[in-house]
Each structure stands twice: as C-alpha cells, then as structure tokens.
Structure 1
Amino acid sequence: MTAAVPDSPGADHRMCSSHDDNGIRKQHGSRLPAVSITLGMLSVASFWLVGLGFLLGVTAVVCGAVATSRSAVADDEAASLRALLGVVAGAAGITVSAIALFPMLAHL
C-alpha cells in the first residue's frame, strides 16, 4: 500500500519516505520483511523454549513468503532481500528448534 501525501514546507524528511519529481512524499510499502526478520531472529534465539522457536520460525517463513508475493516488495530490491533474509532466518530457527526438540521428546 503506497500513500501519496503532498509535501509541506515544514515536513520532517527523516521519516521512512521518499520524494518523487513532483514533491509528493510516498510512503514505503510493507512492514512484513522487517517483521519476518525479527521473528526469524527471535526463533533462533528462543530455540531452547519448547516449541516457541519452532512456531516463531514458521511464522517468519510465512511472513517472508507473503511479503515476497506483494508487488510493493517485489519492486523494491532491498525489501525483497529483507523478506528473503526473514525466510532464511525462520528456516534456521525451525532447524535449530527441531534439533533441540528431538532429544527433549525422547525423555518424555
């Protein structure tokens, strides 16, 4: 979703926005790539909590996959790479959680 807002003279340009040739400020598209990376990192960090790292990893992979299918992310190379990094981090979290979970299941 891209919103176009007319540029005002006192506007703060440090926000996450860009300007086109007409001076109209455009908001960047999706937050899903950043959410995917965050969830992927949390899944790797919380692999030792039974099942939580696995669920966070699956959620990171789903968010990254949905983000790559959106046109706003597909058009932006940096956002596309962030979404891919989120998928990879989520897959790493799933793998590490599964490796940690199998020995715990043997003791139950």
Structure 2
Amino acid sequence: MTAAVPHSPRADNCMRSSIDANETGNQHGPRLPAVSIALGALSVATFWVVALGFILGLAAVVCGAIATSRSADADDEAASLRALLGVVAGAAGITVSAIALFPMLAQL
C-alpha cells in the first residue's frame, strides 16, 4: 500500500535546477591545478632528459600560477592548495633538471 502524495511541478523544477547546477559545477571543475600537479610530477620524473624536465617544470609553474590567480580557484581552498602543490613540484623539477644539466654542460 502506498500513500498518494500531491505532486507539485514547481517543487520539481526547483529540485531539478539545483541538481543540474551541482552536476555542471562538479563536471567542469578547475582543471589547471590538476594539470599543474601532473606537469610537475612529470618534470621530476623526466629530469634526466636534457630539456624535457625543465620545460615541463616551467609549464607546471605557469599553470599553477594562473590557477592561483583565478578568482574562482582562489575561493576554493582545495584547488588553491593543489595549484600550490603543482608550483612546488614544478620548481622541484626545474631544480633537479638544472642540477642534472650542469655536469653535462661541463663536458662540452
């Protein structure tokens, strides 16, 4: 046995619009912090390739800086921390690549 509950189309529309807004917000969330972390990790992993680690590290720092400067990302503390982590990983990749590059330049 089920009880009949009156159905209000207005309540259904309000519910649907809030669900749609949440889905699009999660679906198209900030991607630059994640890209920054990925590029930073790749720059650390590929430091031994002559210029690749340096370029990836530089790209990670740029993506992280752009992500932290955006107002939408700056309001989201988690996205800001991810962007900062990407900047740190990119800086580490640049540093390790430069340290690996100096002995190679000495041989030239």
Instruction: Indicate the TM-score class for this superposition, using the shorter chain for normalisation.
Output: 0.7 to 0.9
Higher helix proportion (structure 1 or 2): 2
CA deviation profile, 1:20-61 (whole Å, cap 9, x unmatched): 9x4432414320000000000000000000010000000000
Q: Percent identity?
A: 75
Amino acid at match of 1:44: V
Alpha-carbon separation, structure 1, partners of 2:15 and 2:55: 42
Give the deviation of 1:71 after TM superposition: 1.1
- 1:39-86 CA-to-partner distances (Å, cap 9, x unmatched) read 000000000000100000000000000000111110100000000000
Within a 5 Å distance, the mapping from 1:47-58 to structure 2 comes to 47-58=47-58
TM-score, with normalisation over the residues of structure 1?
Answer: 0.77
Aligned to 2:78: 78
Normalized against structure 2, the TM-score is what? 0.77
Moved over 3 A (4+): none
Structure 2 equivalent of residue 102 of structure 1:
102
The alignment covers a number of residue pairs equal to 91
Residue aligning to 1:11: none
Q: From the CA coordinates, give the structure whose radius of gyration is larger.
A: 2
Q: Provide the alpha-carbon RMSD of the alignment.
A: 1.9
Q: Which consecutive residues of structure 2, in runs of 5 or more, have no partner in the other structure?
A: 1-13
- After the TM superposition, which of the residue ranges 29-38 and 79-88 deviates more from structure 2? 29-38
User: Partner letter of residue 27 of structure 1?
Assistant: G
Pick aligned residue for 2:25 from 27, 30, 34: 27
> What's the counterpart of residue 37 of structure 1?
37
Structure 1 alignment gaps of length 5 or more: 1-5, 9-19
Structure 2 match to 1:15: none
Of Structure 1 and Structure 2, the greater strand share is in 1
